Structure formats: C-alpha cells, structure tokens
Chains A and B, each alone.
Chain A
Amino acid sequence: MKIPYILLLFILSTFPLYSQVAIFGTVKSDDGKKLPGANIVLQGTNLGVVSDSDGNFTLDISQENYVISDGKLVVTYIGYITNKTTISDEVTFYNIVLAKDALDLSQVLVTGRGTISREALGVKVGTVSSNEIINSGESNIISSLSGKDAGIEITSSSGEPGSSTYIRIRGANTIQSSQQPLIVIDGSPIDNSTFGNSLGRYGAGQGATSTNRAMDINPNDIQSVEVLKGPAAASIYGTKAKNGVILINTKSGTAGENRITYRYTASNDRVTQQPKLNSKYGMGLHYGFFDDGGCDPNPDLSYCNDFALSWGPLLSSLSETDSINGYLVMKDTLGAYYRNGQIFDHTSDIFSDGGKEEHALTFSGGNESTTYYINFSKMKHSGFFIGPNNFYNRQSIRLNLDQAVDKKLSISGKMFYSVTDGSFIQMGSNVSGLLLGSYRTPPNFDNSVYLDPETDYHRSYINSSPEILTEGHGYDNPFYILHEQYNLTNVHRFIGNYETKYTLSDKINFLYRLGIDYSNDKRRYIFPPSSSENPMGLIDVQQLSTQLIDHNIQLNANKDFGRLNTNFTIGQNLNGSDYFRTGIVGENMSSYSFHQLNNTTDYMPDEYSEQIRTSSTYFNLTFGLDNTYLTVGMNRDGSSTFGKGNRFSNFPRASFSWRFSDKFKPPAVSKGLLRVAWGRAGSEPDAYLTKNAFSLSSYSDGWGPELSSNYNGYGGFVSGTTKPNPDIKPELVTELEYGMDLAFLNDRLNISLTLYKQSTEDAILYVPAAPTTGYAYELRNAATIENNGLEISIDANLFETVNQSFSTEINYSHNKNIVTSLAGAENISIGGFAGASAYAVAGEPYGVLRGNDWLYDHHLFWNNIDGDPFWDPGESTSDSAFALIPNPNIGHYLLDENWFPQMNPEETIIGDPNPDWLGSIRFSWNYKSTLRISALFDIKYGGDIWNGTKGALYYFGAHEETTKQTVVYVEGGQIIDGIATWDSGIKTWWEGQDVGSMTAADAQIVSEANGLLKFRGYLDNFSMYTDQECQEFSTDIPCVVAVTEEAYYSGPFSGFTGPASQFVEDGSYMKLREISMSYLFAGDLIKEFGVQSLDFALTLRNIFTWTAYSGIDPETNLAGTSNVRGLDYFGNPQARSILFSMTVNI
C-alpha cells in the first residue's frame, strides 16, 4: 500500500522542518506480557531502538526520516509476527501488541545466496540464538551448538582449551572426504579446517590436539546461528554443501542511543571421568620387583622392558627392608621415590583446576544512516593439567558498520581480527603422550620428581636414574611432558566482509558481497632431548596460512500477479582458497630449554601449497499463492580440481510448502504446515589429481625406519603412485526431506517432524591399485551410501502466566546409515589402530570398527571323540558328515585345551560407533523476565567405543580390574574356591600350569599359608556349562580356569595380546550439559548509577554424566575431526566447568 504523494506532503507539512519528534510506547505480547528487547525500527531506515526491560521505548524521528519511512514503524521480536504500526504526528504514545508466531513462519532466512522466506524453503532450519551460545559458556562456537538442535552430532576431542570439535549433521555421507559442514559468516564461507601437519605431530590419534579454525570466532559477536542440515536445504551452495551449512550472523548496531556493554566471564574447569587404576601392586613382573641390579640394561636405552609393567609385589605387604627374589624393595638410587606403602594416584596427580577469564567490551549504536558494532574481547583459558604448557588465549576485535547511503544504496563492512595463542599437550598413541605415560606408571612411583636431582635429566619409572641426556625412556614421565614439551600455535586471523545492496526499484535489487578470510598459523613443537618420541630432541617450526576469497553477485526480483507472488534470484559466486605451509624440522638438540632451531644440527624442510578455485552460477524461483510456496532452483558449479572438460556439474533443487491450517484446522491444532524439499549437493575431489607428476618419496615399511628420496645431497623423485583421473566426477548427495510443523493449544505446543532420505552416489575413493600396473592407488567415483533419518523438535510453553513461564524444548533425532556399495571392495580402511580400526564395509554402517574377536564355535557337528555326553575342548573340530551329532557348543567360545577362550586371528566387525539416536531436553523457567533458570540434558544413545586405554592398562597390570585377588584352598590336590571343590587342577594361562602347583617363583602367588593360596587374578568359567554341571560331568580337568597375570600380558585378556572386541563398550551417555541461572537487574536503583541493566549468570557445564562406559568421558574421540569415530586410546580427557558471568549495559 502506498500513501498518495499528496497525502504524504500533507503529513510532512505538519512536521516542523528539520525538527525531531519523540514518540514513546510499550511493546507487549497478545497475552499481555511485556516484551523487553523487541526491535523497533523506522521503516526503510537504520533508525531504531530496542525496548527496555519493561517493554518501553523512546524514539526520536526527524522529518526526513519520517518521509523515508512512509510513516511506518516496524516492530520485530523473535517468535512473534512482525508488526507494522502507522505513526502520525498526533499520537506520541503507541501501545504495540505483537501476535505470537508459533512457527516463526514470517521470518526470512538470509542464506548468503539470496533471501528467502523460511516457509518457502520447505525444510526445517534450526536456529540457535545469541543467548544460547553465550550461556553455553563454550569458547568454541561449534561446541556451543551441542544439544541445541535435532540431527547434529557434536564431539569435543578433549577438554583441553582450544581442542578441536567434530560436528556431523545427519550421519556420514562420504567415505574419505570431510564430513564437516560448510561454515558461512555473514554470507561468506570461512575456513573451518583442522590442520594436522605433514609430520603427524599434530593430528589424529597422536600428537597434540589442534584447533578447528572456527574457534577463532568470538561467540560474543554472534547474533544467531542457522543450520541448513542437508542438501535439500543447502543445495544452493552446490559443490561445497553436501554436509550441510552452518550460517552464522554477527551482530549489528541499532540506531539510537549509543550503548556500551561490558561482559566478564570467569570459569573453573575440572577433569571429568577417568578410568580406575591399580593402586595395590608395584612395578615388576612375576611378583618380582624392578631393580637396576636385576636387569642388565639395553645398551641403547638402559632399561628393561620386562619391568615396565605393574605386575610386581603387593605394596601393602612390603617393608623397607624387604627383598623379593633377592632384590631389595627400595633399590632405586633415589630410594625415597619408591616410598613404601605410599600410593600415588596417577589419575589425579597431573591435574589441577583450570579455568578461563574473559572480558568483552561492546560499543554499539548509530544514527539513522549509520550503525556500528564494535567488540573487543580478551580471553585467557588455562587447562586443567598442571604445568605452564596448557592454555588457549584469544583476543579479538570486530567492527561491523552499516551505512544507508540513500534510499536505494546501502553498504556494510564487517571486519574481524583475532590473535590466538594455544599450547597443547601430546596425547594418544604416542610414547611422549601424557596419559599413556601417566596411567601406566606403577602406583608406588612418584612422577612429580621428573628431573633427576643429580643429573637434572628426565627420569621416569622405567629409567629412574638417567645417565645420558639423549636417551628415550620407553614412555615419558607425564610431569616432564607437562613442563618441558611444547606444542605451540599462534594464529592471526582476519575475516572481512564487504556488502553493497542497490535497490533498483521496489521489485528489483542487486547485491554484491566480497568476503575475505585469512589466517596465519605459526606452530612450534618441541620435544626436548630424552623425549621418548625423539630422544635426540626435535624442534619443528611450521607456518600454515589459508586464504579464502569469496565473491558473490546477485540480482533479486519479485513480481505479483494477483494472488500469485513470484520471487526470482540469480547470482554468481567465485571462490578461491589457497593453502600454504612451510616448515623446518630440526633434530639433535643439545639442551632442554633453548627452543630455537639454532639449538639443532640436522634439518629437514617441508613445503606444501594448494590452490582451489570454484565458480557457481545459480538461480532460485519461488511461486507463492496464499501460503503455499513452490521453489525451484539450480546451481551450475565448477571446480579447478576436476579434469578439463569435466569441471562443471549441475545441482538442481525443488521444494514445496503448504500451510494447510489456512484451509482446515484439525481439532486443537492452531497452525499446521506441510513441507517437502528435494536437493542435490556435492563435494569436489582433492586438488591436483588429474595429471601425472613426479614427487618426492619417503621409504618406510610401517615399522618406523624411513629414508627420504632426496639423498646424499642429490634430489630424488619417483613417478606418482596415485593414478590420475581426469574423468573424476563430484561426489553427489541427493536428499529428500519432508515433514510437518504443527502448533497446538493456541501455539503453546509446537511440534516439528522431519523425515529425510539421503543417498550418496559417486563417493570419491582412493581405491587400492595393483602395484604391478604402476600405481598404488587410483582415484575413483566408487561408493554409495544411504542415510535415512527422523528428526523431532518439540517446543512446549505449558505453564505461562503474566509473571512467569515454564517451557520445555525437546530434540530427538535418529539416523540410519548404510554403506550400500564400495565398487566391489569388501572394505576400505578409514584409519585407526592395530587393535581396532574404522572401516567402510559394504552393507554396514559407515565407520564400523574392525578388529579381532573371540573365536566362536561354528561347527555344526560334534566329533564326539571320547564318547561321553560331555562336550570338551578339542571335540568340536569336525564338520564331517560322518559325525552327525549336533554340536552342543555351537555359538559358544571355541575353547583351547585348557578351557581358555581363544582369539580369532581374522579381523571381524566388533563395533559400530554410530549412535542409535541423539536427544536433548531443555527446561527453562522464566520469572518476571528477570530470573531465568534453564537446564539442558544431552543424550547419546548407542554408539560403541573401543576402550583401547583399558586394553593397554590390562597389559600393563595398571587397571584396577587387574588387581582382583582370589583365595583358594588347596588340599590333597583338591582346589576349594569357597563354592565348589575341584578334584584336579584348575589351569592357568602359563603353559596350562595348575593353580595348585603355583609357587612364589611362578609369580602369581600373593601369599600362601596353611593350604590357603591367594593369587592376583580370578577364577572364571568360559564354557557352556555351569560350574555345577562341570562337577557332575567329571572330565580330565575342570572347565573353570584361573585368569592370572600371564593371561593378561601374554594371554588373551589384554588389548595387545588378546581380542580387541572385549574392550568394545557401549558409549551411551546422558549429560547434564548446562544448568544456567541468570538474574537481570534493570530497576531505578541501578539507573541512578547510569547503568541500564546488570545481568548475573551462573552456568554449570557438563556437570554430571550418566554412563556405563568405563573409560574416560564417553564424549571422546581420539581422532579429532577426522572421520574415524569411537576410539579411546589415552586421549586427553574432558572438562566440566562452572562459569560465572556479569553483563553491564550502560
């Protein structure tokens, strides 16, 4: 509707020229609740205010602006239908009432590739508000999203500040390419890589953690986060969007008063769940004690592997003068460190309280044509490990400027600069890793004295009296790691965004946007001499830089044909990403503390660079008829990583939505929307795989030794070993999403239901090739994968009065994933360990863990050799048709001759790390808009974890469960275990020796007196018979066995010597992810001090976890942001925190 010019002139004439008029008002909801924080903007200008805590506002309007606005005030509030109020000179007070919009349907979504009404999108878009992000207390924007929306799986790799966080939306849709979604800030994609380096010192499974680059973003700057979950929604991003898109919008200033906000946050972090360790037995083997005199040292290492274990004496039984097997108990030259009876808890001695402190100062405001937002933030976060080397600090500044040049042209510029400093701790499968060294230390060794008082050299329990500087220790002392090793990163990041919008007419506008993202990461890794990973000492200095340029130009037009509205967007996007890395590794350090390359003598350089260019032309056409929308669109995307002639592909999409409640309303339903969307997106192959080239080679056989092809002063190159493929096509993901949004009980209960079906075709794989054809790998479009899922979001405001409200949000998602084909390959390794590795296996969910399992009896027939009715080991070896007795043991363990279970030498699938479902529930209580309390529970149900830590600790004798003691009574060859009496010997693993004939020299005996025999271990029965049945069918030996120390470190009960399957556990958990309480002061009392409002908040994060998992916190992933899931192997543990924050608004 347009006001006739004549009328406008008339209205204008009533305003004094160039004067200002103030209007007042309140904003309330249709049920009478005051709405603080509503946005009141004069239409067509940047002039606006935000309502105060009582919903009141004041706005000064100039005549000029009044003209521009056509006399309209636009009032918006999230969750309410936007209100347009006509103002006139005669009224200065406005009572504005907003109607609730249960489905947020009126809102539009700015995707960065056009603006579209949410309803017309035809998909469910998750929205996370600024408050939800801030209140989570997380410094990593990705971590702060956990539990906030359905279908998003988020895992922090550890609780170390600055560690990377993995995010996966709607399941795995690729085999070997990344599963991380695209991150877009203010319309321009940014880099969220997690870079390891070429030397693996930072990376999956070993080394120190590394940061995902989105962590440079300051959460204080974020206005909202939108999640486009699959290609149906994200297809507009074409080749980059198959994993979904996370759209982040930063804050802008609002015209009116200048506002200053200061926010202070402080937290205390502590370590969460850890495994329970042996606190009873000392170092050694066979119950003997470690002693320098009893172990001729290896010439290179001066320690003995035999004694690196905790199968030594029962500490409580010893006194200082005791000797075992002829050796004194306290034989260490520093005797005092093997303190008799004193137990050191290696799950706690390396931890202390960590925490962060953050200051954020924001200035915002502006006038009718210009608004600004400036934020300065400084965060210091120290981790929960002792020592100075565990921190992550971030300083950032953001400046967002919006300028309305005139009625047609507006420009905005956004700039962000941050400097982060991180220092991380080596972890995982790495002999210089923290928990591997700590957990395996026997309980009687005090790690805290990590330097030898005489030599000042690194001492550890394996090498307690070091005499040489440059020798390894097998495993490093954790205190040495925490004090002397450094893994430093210093990142400078600039993200800039320039946008200009030109409104040609009310039907047509142009938009141009240029985004730049640059980061420079300087890393320094220092393994001082005697580090077990690099005994000679190593300094690795790396510099990594990334640069992204994103250029986007688009035109948007809309036209109404009666009731039919059309909207058309066409645009073009050019994107360039450059990655560059240089580094030098220096080896052979001559002193601990000098950390420059100058302290080394051998050098190895490293350089890598990669440039990728993509180009995209796209259009979107939306037809709207009443509240029914149909959208069709297409991208034509190209990437420089495809072969010539194959560079471009098309990505179509279509969606439909129908607000059926306009036509008919089922009972109790206040609103209802049906939607369906279909779209296709893809991903490009790695760079430079379309042409043959020669490269450097490194020769190794997987055991460690390595030779470089640059040799003896000459350059050496070999023919490339990956077969180039100029015909490679994009990996394609096609998604069909459909669902329904329903509101009940006057919009108090909202339910959103979404079903999707994703199929991945042409997944890009490095397929092994026959070396005899000249290649080791071949790049192919090979695999297909399917993901089917269900997402439910429920938002209920069931109790609501004028003063208070109580609401509940529930998110639930379930995804079923299956790798449908691997182009003929049985399985493809994704990565992992010798014990358990993740694989893509045709017909199985992605990432299943393969490893050794127990050997089960699959023989159909029983070869009943001895003719008795009792099956015993050795009798089930026949499938012969002549032995027609059905095998009674079928499906049970195939036991060895001593009744022990055996390991299947062939690897099978032993676990599936994909969760069955994910869920979250948030309860919020809001009193008088001042007191807010909310609790968020996060649930992961299902999903296996290989507890490799436990498997290793079993081997070392360092796990609490290896400290079980069993007492049996031996009399006349009989063994009495308290319940049953056994006629003949119970076998141990050690060459089938009888328990009754064990002696102290056999090591397993803790004590022996008057026929009572106490040993470290337990009795178990692995057969199909009960103990009683065993007694009844008298056989040669009982089917009960004694699991003693040998069965752990050389038998089947450890992670190194036995099947990995026994350490696969259910990783389900429920976490009290957040409890937050905040109180807002906004009364006159503080206004006297010039303070508008004061907000105090207390957040408890990850404070409780309910889980049956026996390792560290089950929210763990050693492999960081790689595609490998479900591995726990001495990764650094998780943190729980208490955060306090105070926000002052001036």
Chain B
Amino acid sequence: MKIYTNQLVVFFIAAMLFYGCDNWIEGYDIDPNSTPVVSIDNLFTASQVNLFNFSENHLARTVAIWMQQMAGMDRQYKSLGLYSFEENDYSSSWQSVYINGGLKDLIKIQSMADEVGPRGARYKGIAQFMEAYLIGMAASIWGDIPYSEVLNEAIENPKLDEQFQVYLAVQNLLNEAIENLSYNLTSDTTIAPQNDMFFKGDKDKWKSAANTLKARYYMHWVETDITYCDSALFYSGSGISSSEGTMKTLHGTESSEQNMWYQFEQDRSGYMVAGSKLVQLLKNNNDPRDSIYYGKIAGSINGASPNPDDAESASVKGKSYLNEEYFGADASIDIISYEENLLIKAECHFLKDEISEAQQALQDAQTAAEEKWDFEEDTFPEISLTGTALINKIIEEKYIALFLNIELWNDYKRNCYPEVKYKKSEDDDGNPIYKYPPARVYYPEDERITNTSIPNITGQPEHNENDPEQCRIE
C-alpha cells in the first residue's frame, strides 16, 4: 500500500512538472475578429472611404468655416469660427494620410498590384493617384511632412521632408500614375477595380483627374513663382473635361454611409450654420446657387457669422444649414472638379495676361455650373470683364464653385479672398487689431510626442514655404 502510494505521488508530481499541459494555451493567438489575409479590393474599398472621410471631416468643416461658407456658432465651433484651433484638432486627418486606409494601405495595394504583373497597372495607377492626393494635400496643410522615411520599421522618428521636395515627389508619383493608367496591353486587359466608387474603373477619367491634380499642385506654388502657371496650364489641358469627370465622394442613406456634413448637422445641430459671407455674396450677385447650397427657413436663406463685427448675424436663431435636397444624406461632395480645372486655366491665363482665354475659361466654368445645377442657359451673364474685375470674378467664382472643398484654403492662402478678418481688439492708439484665418495648423500632438523630428508648437512656422505672404493685407 505504502509503495503504491509513493509511486502514484511521484507520477503525479512528475506529470505536473514535465507535462504541464502547455498545449492547452496553444492555438488561440489568431484574432477571429480580424483577418490575416485581405484582397486588394478590400484595401481599396477602405482607402476610398478614407478619402471620403479626409474630404469631409473636421478639416473640411474648418476650411468652410474659416472661408465663411459656413459659420461656427456654438461651443468649440464658435472659437473655430474665431480662427482658434487646438494642436490635436486635425489628428484624424493626419492619421488618414498615413494609416487607416491611407499611405500604409495604398502602398500595400501598389505592391499587390505589382504581384499581378502588367495587368495590375491600372490598379497601381489609381493607388498612386490616391497616395499623391493625400500626401500633396497633407503638404499643403502642414508644409514639411514626413514622407521619405515613413512606414519603415527601422526608423522610429521619420524626418520631415521639405514641402517643396514632397511636392516634387508627388508630381513624379502622379507622372507614374498617369503612365500606369495609360498602360495598354494589346487589348486593354488591365484589371479594373470592381469597387471603384469614383470612376467605376474608367482609367481615362482617372488620368484626367491626375492631370487636374497636377495642375492644382502647381497652382499651390504660383504665389512663389508665377511661372508655375505654365505647368498648371499644361496639365489642366489634359485635365477633367466634363462634369462626369469630376471626382467626388459617394454616399448612401444608410447611417454608416451618410454624407458627413449631413451627419454633423444630425449630431450637432446649431454648432454650424450657413456662413453669411457666401450667403450675402450669392444674394448680391443674384446667383441662384444660394438656394442650391442652403436650406430656406421661413422662405429665406440666412447666414450667420461669429465675428463680433457682424453682430446682427451672431445668433443661430433662424439661420440656414445646407439644403437637404442637394446636400442631404446621400449627397456627394466634389474632391477635384471640372470647374476647378477650368478655373485653374482662367486664373493662370489671366496671370499670363491671356485675357480672352481667361474670359473663356471663366465663361466655361459658369456654363458648367449652369449645367450642373440645371439652371437655364445664360443664367450667368457673358463674361466681358477685364483687368482686376476679371481676376476678382475668377477668384470669386472659384470660391463659389468649390463649395465645401478643402482646396479653398489653398486658394485663400494664395489670393487672400474672401476677406474674412475681424477686429479682435485695439492697440493703444485706438487702431484696430485684426484676426485672420491661420495659414497653417500644428502637427498633431500624437505625432509630436512620439516623433522627435517634429518641433514643438513654438518651433513650428506660421505659414508654409509655398505661402510666403500671409494674408494680412490691410
């Protein structure tokens, strides 16, 4: 009995020490809630939604408020309306550029497209276009940004590349994109993405959009050197040539696919209403786009402004929001439009003193607007303006036509239109001290505290290299 007991005990202890049931915990490290394998289409869908988000989120609302197409009226949006912002306000846009369907996944799409060989050229070109869009726009917002050293496991602190270098790289990338989009096997058998929510895989439309984007990015440097207009004109020549070519977001009525401008009003009504600047401009011009853009309250369209100088419209009481018919749950917002392409031409022709071409381009842009909104022909008068009146009209038309488009901020930084300063206080002699929209926002705190290459707020410039003259003209 005693021997038997001892054997059993020894066996038991040995079993525990040596066997230990380590297998019990094996095989549970694969997350059932995510997938280790994705298709190129999966990544592409998310990357497109990421782009919709980038074009319509807080950054877009900020631009619309600063440009006074909309008015920030309540709580934090009131201070936004008074041109204040916080370091972390645009961190979700920053993330959209690099992760969450941004650069990281776009690069993955490109390498997956490469694996397919030549047939992947179209897919690759589209992904390169999207990369160029995000990186170029990021460079327009933040100036110097990390690009050459990003997404590299070995580099913990990706350095800032100069804004100009980033634009050069982006222009090159767009060249490659155009090349890939032009790639023609004997009979075109390049793979057209089934889930292309912009152009249904139409590579010509993508190519035109890429050309307009190139033109846009050259425009971003016209303030430093007017000869960039030559390139802008060159590329706009092969740019978007009809309304069908306009690249825009896609939405549906389901709650996870609704237009973010619409969702914002559902969630935070009263934070933001129609901006009196654009409302007044449209009214003064008898421009019927006022009732396209904005909703009516008791039969009229009313805009507000948080500016203290503009006290009569300082309440949200009775103020309009967007017109639900055109800017409702499933409405699309333009990202790069036919009108933009025309108005880039108009502006550059004017700057190159090619007045009749400028007039024609402006005329075409207005015709495009007439067609777009189904107005009667010649709703807008024939353009015969010249000189300052003409350029003002071109800039004004772009301000109207690129409604809710984040590109407006770049136009503002170049042309300082519209005039949106307000009187903040007075100096000792009683002269007014004005406040203007910022020319740049801070790098997000998330990046600053984790990447030693990012300077502190105080070490960051107030304006970017492509915007040498801040809009502070009295």
A residues whose Cβ falls under 8 Å from a Cβ of B: 295-301, 304-306, 472, 474, 504-505, 508, 510, 535, 555, 557, 570-572, 574, 576, 587, 602, 604, 607-615, 617, 636, 638-641, 643-644, 647-648, 687-688, 690-712, 714-721, 768-776, 825-826, 1056
Contact = CB atoms under 8 A, between A and B. Distances in A.
Among all A-B residue pairs, the 10 with the closest Cβ atoms? A296-B318, A704-B267, A716-B45, A716-B46, A688-B31, A705-B263, A640-B28, A708-B256, A695-B34, A699-B53
A15 B268 CA distance: 88
B46 A704 contact: no
A697 B100 contact: yes
Given A508-B5, A574-B21, A703-B267, A716 B42 contact: yes
B28 A719 contact: no
Nearest to B96: A699
Contact of A771 (B26, B27, B266, B447): B447
A611 B31 CA distance: 9
Contact of A299 (B92, B157, B295): B295
A636 B22 CA distance: 11
B53 A707 contact: yes
Given A707-B257, A717-B46, A771-B95, A305 B151 contact: no
Interface in B432-463: 444, 446-447, 449-451
Contact of B446 (A305, A611, A639, A770): A770
Contacts of A304: 316-318
A162 to B, nearest CB: 29
A772 B158 contact: yes
B293 interface: no
Nearest to B50: A699
B30 A691 contact: yes
B383 interface: no
A630 to B, nearest CB: 21
B169 to A, nearest CB: 15
Interface in B112-160: 146, 149-153, 155-158
Contact of B297 (A298, A602, A770): A298
21 contacts: A296-B298, A299-B296, A299-B324, A304-B317, A305-B316, A306-B315, A555-B13, A611-B28, A613-B24, A617-B17, A688-B30, A688-B34, A696-B34, A703-B268, A706-B263, A714-B195, A716-B42, A716-B45, A716-B101, A772-B151, A773-B151
B255 A587 contact: yes
Given A636-B20, A705-B264, A711 B450 contact: no
A608 B100 CA distance: 20
A701 B57 contact: yes
Nearest to A305: B270
Contact of A718 (B99, B268, B315): B99
B430 interface: no
A775 B99 contact: yes
B320 interface: yes
A694 B267 contact: no
Given A298-B269, A703-B268, 14 more contacts: A296-B317, A472-B269, A638-B22, A701-B57, A711-B46, A712-B45, A712-B252, A712-B257, A719-B105, A720-B34, A768-B450, A772-B149, A772-B451, A775-B99
Contact of A773 (B21, B97, B105, B156): B156
A773 B56 contact: no
A715 B45 contact: yes
B206 interface: no
A701 B58 contact: yes
B256 A707 contact: yes
Contacts of A505: 1-2, 5
B98 interface: yes
B101 A709 contact: yes
B29 to A, nearest CB: 6
B260 A707 contact: yes
B45 A687 contact: no
A639 B25 contact: yes
Contacts of B150: 772-774
Contacts of B316: 298, 304-306
Nearest to A607: B33
Contacts of B265: 300
B32 to A, nearest CB: 5
A535 B269 CA distance: 12
A643 B25 CA distance: 11
Most B CB within 10 A of own CB, among A607, A648, A715, A720? A715
Nearest to B78: A1050
Contacts of A609: 32-33
B58 A702 contact: yes
A614 B21 CA distance: 10
A615 B24 contact: yes
B264 A704 contact: yes
B221 interface: no
Interface string B36-58: 11100111111111101100111
Contact of B99 (A535, A611, A703, A771): A771
A508 to B, nearest CB: 6
B321 interface: yes
A1079 to B, nearest CB: 53
Contacts of A776: 95, 99-100, 446
